[in-house]
Chains A and B, each alone.
Chain A
Amino acid sequence: MTIQDDMNPVSADPETNVDGIARTVTERSALQRVLTLTVGPILAAFLLSALILMLVGVNPLTYYGYILERSLFSGLGLQQTATRMAPLLFLCASLIIAFRAGIWNLGTDGQFLLGAVISAASAPLLVGVLPGWAVLLAGFVLAALVGAVWSLIPALLKAYQGVNEIITTLMMSFLGVLLASTLVKLVFRDPETTVPQTRTLPVEDRLPRLFDTSISSGLIWGLIAVLAVHLMMTRTAFGLRLRMVGANPLAATHAGLSVPLLTLATFGLSAGFAGLAGASEILGVAGNVRANWNPAYGLMVIPLVFLARFNGVGAIVLVFFYSALMIGSESAARRLGVPQDFTLVLVASLLICLGLGEYIDHHKRKKER
């Protein structure tokens, strides 16, 4: 599945089917395809966004240059970029499972925040009770469980009632975001602070930093999560079962797979990883959750996973660039006065331009055949 809605890339007309006849096709040069598929659209997206910057009176060259300088060409920026990647990677893992299994989990924001809140609520209390590694492990496990539990209603409705999960996961996401905030204010509030927030996990008890840098080791776990999910989906029996349910539920039933159970498993795993994403942000970086905190990474990651065509390695590369963009634009918001919301514009134009590129490529290939 790509942006080009190519769920059935196969011509069903028997008369157009090639019966082993070798195609005498001269494919366009690979270079041309790369141009239409990636380089061209990316350039177009940056140009489009540059136009918008000029519209509001910002010099795009200054802005883009500043972002590059702050995020990739400075040691600190690079470290911040790497740290930012961790939660996004876990979210990628979550979405790769869901999308490959044909489930539109659009509720990762709620699952993420509830995972974050439960880990922030539990970990500081466990410090001293359990050894350091066990505190972190408990935080992660709880976050995964809570995330999974939050997807239970959409999962059951989808598996046994056939209710469209797009709407249920979105609704549960709104609910989850509000619930997380309520929990911080009413249940897990740190009595010693004036602003509503949870207790804070001391810096020394958080996920260790990598070597001498400020990069959280959450990055490593995030990378492992994405790669593990990628291998699971492409190389194991379980992954093939999930993919089969996603690609053709009728065929899955016919082959003796329990589509409802596998649907439940997909939701559980996907939402669990979203919960882990929340925990990785708290246990690795923030240490606590403030009321009304919502970075809203969930919907943002969806375009990235799509652009990566559900490929784990591709997703890692895109997450890297997106993190750099975020770090750079956050800095630019302070220094150049351009709100970081601009990244949304850039990602949206990327998505649209890459979609158009795919469309053009698809049709050129069609014509050539």
Chain B
Amino acid sequence: MSNASETVTSLSSETRAGVIGVHGVTKRFPGVIAVNNVSLTFHQGEVHVLLGENGAGKSTLVGILSGLQEPDEGYLSLNGKKIRLASPSASLDAGISTVFQHSMLVPTLTVLENLTLGAPWYERPPRARIAARMEELKREFALSLPLDAIVGELSLGQQQQIEIARALLRDSKVLILDEATSMLTPQGAHELGERMQKLVKSGLAVIFITHKLAEAYRYGNRISVLKQGALAGEMVPDQLKSMSEDQAVDEIVRLMFGREAGAGSTEQRNSTKRDDTVLKLENLSTQGDADVMGIADISLILQAGEIVGVAGIDGNGQKQLAEAMAGQRPLNSGRVELDGEDITSATVAQRRRKGLRYLTDDRLAEGSVAAFPISENTVLKDIGQPPFWVNGLERPQRIAQHARELIARFSVHAPGETTPIGRLSGGNIQKVLLGRELLGEARVVVFNKPTYGLDLKNIDTSRQRISEIAERGLAVLLISTDLDELMALSDRIAVMEGGRIRGIVKNDGSGEALRLRIGRMMAGEEDYKQATA
């Protein structure tokens, strides 16, 4: 596809030095203005951070720059010339490469094939040329990849390297990284930050999208803050350099929310732990295979009113542990005890009725049925149970009433209980699912990444709710990849790696020291000193 480029006669002086210009771009979706009259300039040699909450318009902007969507109003420019990016290939031809938030690799193909994806079908893959280029990339940017490995068998960090390598192989002038650190360890994120600086020094423009404030300061040369689709402010390189991290974060928060930082969410909560043991896990093990990791020898005790955090890099058995607890995943060995009663052989439904609840991390694919109305989704875990069913017959009014109550109590923003749940935003689906888990007599709630993908306001509310649940005397297992969240909420933190618990530490508020210790365990080092359950 050809880029229909034409010279724009009158360009504002601001766009002079930029590679890519966004000029008064507006994009509307049904009922929302996703991007509202945004103008930005991306410069060579800069990591330009686009910062904003979920729904602030970052992803839409990425979509527009990568050719997935076209603006309703406004235009883009490349090196001062107006350009239309009508498709991903047009964007690539313009020298823009994007590493999306969700991996855009084909898991069944090899690294080499993924690197050449999109080439004409009749050509042969230029193996030798790519191998040579990869050697260069290895030297310059420490990108090292096994060309013949199947992508699905590589770690998420390696997969991300493939996508960056692919962008470099295309000789891109602009590299967009969308929420690129969400799957990485703190160390991995740090490496990515250094790599980005090397890339901009070699002459690229990097656009780095994130919602994490500290990352924006650490890795960025220039920060643009988006708020509800509009540009809320910009921090230029000189300004950033002169600030400390705390000052910068304060400034960003002011731009994003119009209030000072440090409110509520990052402060450590006061423990509400009581003495009675609610849930006891003894030596849980599950079968692993090529696709899912098994867990081994997991023992843990949850007390009433206590929040036990589970830290770890995503995919180290956390989900399997949650599923084993909920009864969704068969055990190889081990024992589960709830309020002193052995429930090892109880089914999912039985455990639920006894008060063991599991809020999944996969809200759309596992937690809900997108096409079903909210009302049905509120009772999906109680199908056939009174009062919603009598003798197997559904009582639609009773279910609708229950759903309306839940919508009101958990302040779900929804047109009504008959709306298909898939139409709601992630935060609102989360509220519905939380309401579903708290129905009736809950004793233990397992939260799997409860705030993942939510906007800051919903993150705050969710954390508040989790605290309240513990306050009421329920035991909480909080699985999260966000260390700040765990350190703010947990009484103790268990660290998982390779399907095992590498150590359990008391959240003593020792800040950075604790963070370092947890980081080491996340990387697989045992922590014998403190391994007390």
**Do any beta carbons of A and B sit within 8 angstroms of each other in the complex?**
yes
Give chain A's interface residues, CB within 8 Å of chain B. Answer: 7-25, 235-238, 240-241, 244, 247-248, 250-251, 253-257, 369
A14 touches B54 (CB 8 A): yes
B456 → A minimal CB distance (Å): 14
Give Cα A248–Cα B34 distance, bound, in whole angstroms.
Answer: 29
Is A235 a contact of B368 with CB atoms below 8 Å? no
Given A237-B392, A254-B360, does the pair A18, B30 have CB atoms closer than 8 Å? yes
- Min C-beta distance of B406 to chain A, whole Å: 15
Least distance between B494 CB and chain A CB atoms (Å): 23
Determine how close the nearest CB of chain B comes to the CB of A254; give it in whole angstroms.
Answer: 5
Q: List chain A residues, Cβ under 8 A from B34.
A: 15-16
B11: which A residues are within 8 A, CB to CB? none
| A255 and B380 form a contact (CB under 8 A) | yes
CA distance A107 to B26 in the complex (A): 52
Provide the residues of chain A in CB contact with B420, threshold 8 Å. Answer: 9-10
Cβ of B256 to closest chain A Cβ, rounded Å: 16
Q: Which residues of A sit under 8 angstroms from B392, Cβ to Cβ?
A: 236-238
Q: Is B424 among interface residues, defined by CB-CB distance under 8 A?
A: yes
A10 touching B371 in the complex, CB below 8 Å, given contacts A20-B413, A237-B383:
yes
Q: How far is the CA of A86 from the CA of B511 in the complex (A)?
A: 74
10 pairs, CB–CB < 8 Å, chain A vs chain B: A8-B422, A14-B425, A17-B32, A18-B415, A237-B384, A241-B384, A253-B366, A256-B327, A256-B349, A256-B381
Q: Which residues of B contact A (CB under 8 A)?
A: 29-32, 34, 54-55, 57, 59-60, 326-328, 347-349, 352, 358, 360, 362, 364-372, 376, 380-381, 383-384, 389, 392-394, 413-415, 420, 422-426, 428, 453
- Whether A15 pairs with B57 at a CB distance below 8 angstroms is yes
Q: Which A residues are in CB contact (< 8 Å) with B326?
A: 254
Q: How far is the CB of A253 from chain B (nearest CB, A)?
A: 6
Q: What is the chain A residue whose CB lies nearest that of B57?
A: A15
Question: Nearest-CB distance from B375 to chain A (Å)?
Answer: 12
A369 and B347 CA atoms in complex are apart in Å by 45
Cα distance A244–B377 in the bound complex, in angstroms: 10
Compute how far the CA of A238 lies from the CA of B360 in the bound complex, rounded to whole angstroms. Answer: 24
Q: Which of B32, B349, B368, B453 is in CB contact (< 8 Å) with A251?
A: B368
B63 CB to closest chain A CB (Å) equals 8
| B59 adjacent to A251 (CB under 8 Å) | no
Asked whether, in the complex, the Cβ of A22 is within 8 Å of the Cβ of B371, the reply is no
* Known contacts A21-B31, A235-B394; A241 and B383 CB within 8 A of each other: yes
Shortest distance in angstroms between B228's beta carbon and chain A's nearest beta carbon? 11
Identify the closest chain B residue to A250 (Cβ): B366
Residues of A within 8 A of B389 (CB): 236-237
Whether B31 pairs with A251 at a CB distance below 8 angstroms is no
B369→A244 contact, CB < 8 A: yes
Q: Taking CB as reference atom, which chain A residue is nearest B414? A: A20
Interface pair B371/A9, CB less than 8 Å apart = yes
Closest to A22 in B: B415
- Beta-carbon contact of A19 and B383 below 8 Å: no
A255–B381 contact, CB under 8 A? yes
Besides A14-B425, A254-B348, 18 other A-B contacts (C-beta < 8 A):
A8-B370, A9-B371, A10-B370, A10-B423, A13-B29, A14-B54, A14-B426, A14-B453, A15-B29, A15-B34, A16-B29, A18-B415, A19-B428, A23-B30, A236-B393, A251-B369, A253-B366, A257-B383
Q: Are A14 and B55 in contact (CB under 8 A)?
A: yes
Q: What residues of A have a CB within 8 angstroms of the CB of B423 in the complex?
A: 10-11, 17-18
Find chain A residues with CB under 8 A from B383 CB: 237, 240-241, 244, 255, 257
A12 touches B364 (CB 8 A): yes
Interfacial chain A residues near B424, Cβ < 8 Å: 17, 19
A253 and B57 CA atoms in complex are apart in Å by: 35
Q: Which of B348, B368, B425 contacts A256 (CB 8 A)?
A: B348
A247 interface neighbour in B54, B364, B369, Cβ under 8 Å: B369
When distances are taken between beta carbons in the complex, the residues of chain A under 8 Å from B349 are 256
Assembly CA distance A255 to B453 (angstroms): 22
List, in ascending order, chain B residues with CB within 8 A of A250's CB. 362, 365-366
A16, B364: Cα distance in complex, Å: 15
With both chains docked as a complex, state the minimum distance between the C-beta of A2 and any C-beta of chain B, in angstroms: 11
Which residues in B have their C-beta under 8 angstroms from that of A240?
A: 376, 383, 394
Inter-chain CA distance A238–B384, complex, in Å, is 8
Q: Which A residues are in CB contact (< 8 Å) with B414?
A: 20
Smallest CB-CB separation from B420: which chain A residue? A10
Residues in A with CB closer than 8 Å to B380 are 244, 251, 255
The smallest beta-carbon distance between A12 and chain B, in angstroms, is: 7
| B422 in contact with A19 (CB, 8 Å) | no
Is the beta-carbon distance between A254 and B426 smaller than 8 angstroms? no
Q: Which of B362, B369, B372, B381 has the most CB of A within 10 A?
A: B369
Asked whether, in the complex, the Cβ of A247 is within 8 Å of the Cβ of B371, the reply is yes
Kindly state the separation between the CA atoms of A7 and B365 in the bound complex, as whole angstroms. 13
Tell me whether B370 and A15 are in contact (CB under 8 A). no
Knowing A10-B422, A256-B349, the reply to whether A247 touches B32 (Cβ < 8 A) is no
Residues of A within 8 A of B347 (CB): 256
Closest to A21 in B: B31
With both chains docked as a complex, state the minimum distance between the C-beta of A15 and any C-beta of chain B, in angstroms. 5
Give the residues in chain A near B54, CB-CB below 8 Å.
14-15
Query: Across the interface, which residues of A come within 8 angstroms of B453, CB to CB?
Result: 14
Chain A positions within 8 Å of B371 at CB level: 7-10, 247
Q: Which residue of A lies closest to B428 (CB)?
A: A19
Point out the residues of chain B lying under 8 angstroms from A8, CB to CB: 370-371, 422
